Chains A and B, each alone.
Chain A
Amino acid sequence: MEQSSHIKVKDLNVYYGQNHVLKNINIEIPNNQITAIIGPSGCGKTTLLKCFNRLIESVDGVRVTGEVLVGGENIYDPKAEVTHIRKKMGLLSQRPFPLPMSIYDNIAYGPKIHGERNKKELDRIVEHYLKEASLWEEVKDRLKTPAGSLSIGQQQRLCLARGLAVEPDIILGDEPTSALDPQSSRHIEQKFIELKEKYSIVFVTHILRQAKRIADYLIFIHMGEIIECGPTKEILENPKEKKTQDYVLGIIS
Chain B
Amino acid sequence: MIFNRVLKDKIAGKTMLFLTILACSSLLLIFAGLIFKSLPVIEKSSFSELLFSSKWHPLKGEFGMLPFISSTLWVTGVSIIIAVPLCILSAIYLSEYAHKRILQLIFPIIDILAGIPSVIFGVWGLILIVPIFGYSILSGGIVLAVMIVPVVIHVMIEVIKTVPSELRDASLSLGATKWQTIKFVVVKKALPGIIAGIVLGLSRAFGETMAVLMVVGNVVKIPHSVMDAGYPLPALIANNYGEMMSIPMYDSALMLSALILFIIIVVFNVFSRLILIRIERNVGYNS
Contacts and interface: CB of A to CB of B under 8 A. Distances in A.
Interface of A: 53, 55, 58, 60, 83-84, 86-87, 89-91, 93-101, 109-110, 113-114, 145-149, 155, 159, 162-163, 166, 172
Nearest to A95: B166
Contacts of B175: 83-84, 86-87, 110, 113-114, 166
Nearest to A111: B174
Contacts of B244: none
B169 A58 contact: yes
Contacts of A110: 174-176
B284 interface: yes
A95 B184 CA distance: 20
B286 interface: yes
Contact of A97 (B166, B283, B284): B166
A89 B173 contact: yes
B189 A100 contact: yes
Contacts, number: 91
A100 B174 contact: no
B282 A86 contact: no
Interface size class of B (residues with CB under 8 A): 20 to 34
A195 B159 CA distance: 38
B167 A99 contact: yes
A53 B171 CA distance: 12
B165 interface: yes
Among all A-B residue pairs, the 8 with the closest Cβ atoms: A146-B284, A87-B175, A148-B287, A148-B284, A91-B173, A110-B174, A100-B189, A83-B175
B239 interface: no
A149 B282 CA distance: 11
Given A99-B171, A148-B285, 6 more contacts: A91-B170, A97-B169, A146-B282, A148-B287, A149-B284, A162-B170
Given A86-B175, A113-B174, A100 B283 contact: yes
Which of B168, B169, B177 has the most C-beta atoms of chain A within 10 angstroms of its own C-beta? B169
